[in-house]
Structure 1
Amino acid sequence: MPETGVIAQPGTAERRRPRTAVSRRLLMCSPSHFDVTYSINPWMEPAKPVDGTLALTQWERLLGIYRELGHTVDVVQPMGGLPDMVFAANGATVVDGRVLGARFRHEERTAEGPLYLSWLRANGFTDTHWPEYINEGEGDYLLVGRRLLAGTGFRTDPRSHAEAQEFFGLPVTGLTLVDPRFYHLDTALAVLADDEIMYYPEAFSPGSRAVLRELFPDALLATARDAEVFGLNAFSDGLHVLLPESATGLMSGLRERGFEPIGIDLGELLKAGGSVKCCTLELREG
């Protein structure tokens, strides 16, 4: 049977219900220095040309949509020599006004963590913690209601999960990623609402899939087709879901559940393994 773009979930009622957008405060970073000059994930091919002008145009479109939807967006100053700094989601995790800094696994990105932490401190986020263990910010930490889902397997050290739980005082549920194409949690799972997610099951270990089924039995499941175009690297404000425009199956599934998907083309940034969510750090002020 041909793949349709959404995995059927027999016996699970569609969770169509009224949806409400909630204005968010977000942090982004311009891709004015974006390039692919090294390879730290399977998407990065330094030999493949990158169109910097197009990358900036695509990013500015995402920024504009956020602002049109009523979200407040701050922009951190990019720094030369840090081509991946555009992926602001990796820069920290912010919950209730508290900031867990990011400590990167690869040397090429280690300078980003202190830069983001410095910006946050200078802009009113004074309750901060510099991590003992490697964690790559909201790349691997996603808040669902009052629970943090925490990825590991390729980047974030699992010992960081306990560190985050102690700092934030919230339950942390560890999830193990097993496919190197989905090296961060936010490439394989997206938060749609306080009790609702969408994810690609094959990106996770058997035990982690079982945990997700237990916690989110009605989750929207992505096919390989939509996962491979980074359809799960998405941002939701509770009503609008911004995601890559080529993830047509997920967009159909989102509409069936009462969301309003907005397709975005970030094809140039995908050359470095990033899309909508990677570009977006949520500043939760509590």
Structure 2
Amino acid sequence: MKKVFVKNSSGVLKKVLMCRPTFLKAVPINEIARKWQDVGLDVEIMEKEHRELVKAFEDNGVEVVMVEADSRRGNSVFSRDFGGCIREGYILGRFKEPVRFLERDVYEEKMKELNIPKVAECKNGLFEGGDFTFLDNDTLAIGIVERSNEEGIEEIRKSLSKYGYKVIEVPCDKKYLHLDLCFNLVDEKLAVAYRDGLPETFLKVLDEKGIATISITEECVFKHGCNLQSIGDKRVISLKSNGYVNEELRKRGFKVIELDITEILKAGGGPHCMTFPLSRL
């Protein structure tokens, strides 16, 4: 029997790939980081925040594998972005921003070390994992926002067609950077979403699949209101500052693990961005 890696976006998370924020800076490559580029980030605070995220995973039975931090690729802390993991293996993306180019080879080598096969690769187009989500076991949604494009999605679609996946494009305004700033599945039939930032065609798909949403405002988009990390069995890692969403999740029977992360967020990514799932069943 072939090994199954990641079946969906909200099942029980078993193993993740991460990288410490030792060399992270607010590089002005997204709307959030531009506001902090002249201020600088406190490394000691970021390291503490990251340790607390790692501990939250480990306390909930999730194994954490680390990629070594390097001064030449400070944004590696946002491990989500190098690709996406599915049942059969992983998709290797292609970065748009030169500051992130070195990450691709490092993460590809790490996946070889972990014996996770590469089943698709963007060689000409662009694709980053912040734009990637399952809608169900056989339907993948990929955002066309700032860092992924139609050419990259078409490369993925062709490579994955033999496995029976349907790939849906989700175009959004570039200012939202990645799909996971506007949409994040937290349970099989529940997502947190900025509905006004999503196309009507995608909202219709959600309705057809019976996926309900907890809606946030545009202001919350840039405060990482959608950037939660589901770990399965109605458990979600969220930001302490994400009060409204956290309360709505609790009303629906979720255990919300709140983390006081503020400094890392200034570079443009939250808990979801910092987490690349390696095993989710």
TM-score normalised by L of structure 2: 0.87
Q: Which residue of 2 aligns with 1:257?
A: 252
Q: Is the 8 A contact 1:92 1:100 kept in 2?
A: yes
| Unaligned runs of at least 5 residues, structure 1 | 1-19
Q: Is the 8 A contact 1:97 1:284 kept in 2?
A: no
1:195, 1:127 → 2: CA distance? 29
| Alignment partner of 1:154 out of 146, 151, 154 | 146
| Alignment partner of 1:205 out of 191, 199, 206 | 199
- The alpha-carbon deviation at position 97 of structure 1 amounts to 4.0
Q: Which moved more, 1:144-153 or 1:217-226?
A: 217-226
Q: Which residue of 2 aligns with 1:42?
A: 31
TM-score normalised by L of structure 1: 0.86
1:163 aligns to 2:155 (yes or no): yes
1:211, 1:30 → 2: CA distance? 36
1:148, 1:25 → 2: CA distance? 20
Structural mapping, 1:81-120, within 5 Å = 81-120=72-111
1:121 aligns to 2:107 (yes or no): no
**Secondary structure, counterpart of 1:284 in structure 2:** strand
Change (3 A) 1:262 1:225: farther
2:122 partner amino acid: P
- The alpha-carbon deviation at position 208 of structure 1 amounts to 3.4
Q: Which residue of 1 aligns with 2:4?
A: none
1:61 partner amino acid: E
**Secondary structure, counterpart of 1:271 in structure 2:** helix
- The alpha-carbon deviation at position 21 of structure 1 amounts to 7.2
Q: Which residue of 1 aligns with 2:173?
A: 178
1:53, 1:197 → 2: CA distance? 33
Q: Is the 8 A contact 1:226 1:249 kept in 2?
A: no
- Identity over aligned pairs, percent: 22
**Secondary structure, counterpart of 1:278 in structure 2:** coil
- The alpha-carbon deviation at position 128 of structure 1 amounts to 4.0
Change (3 A) 1:101 1:266: same
- The alpha-carbon deviation at position 266 of structure 1 amounts to 2.1
Change (3 A) 1:209 1:194: closer
- The alpha-carbon deviation at position 203 of structure 1 amounts to 2.1
Change (3 A) 1:270 1:22: same
Q: Deviations over 1:161-192 (max 9, x none)?
A: 23223333311111111150x21011111111
1:198 partner amino acid: V
1:163, 1:196 → 2: CA distance? 29
Q: Which residue of 2 aligns with 1:4?
A: none
Structural mapping, 1:1-286, within 5 Å = 22-36=12-26, 38-45=27-34, 46-132=37-123, 133-137=125-129, 139-146=130-137, 147-168=139-160, 169=163, 170-178=165-173, 180=175, 182-238=176-232, 239-284=234-279
Q: Is the 8 A contact 1:90 1:278 kept in 2?
A: yes
1:218, 1:129 → 2: CA distance? 30
Q: Is the 8 A contact 2:56 2:257 kept in 1?
A: no
Q: Which residue of 1 aligns with 2:5?
A: none
**Secondary structure, counterpart of 1:267 in structure 2:** coil
1:205, 1:232 → 2: CA distance? 17
Q: Is the 8 A contact 1:87 1:280 kept in 2?
A: yes
C-alpha RMSD over aligned residues:
2.0
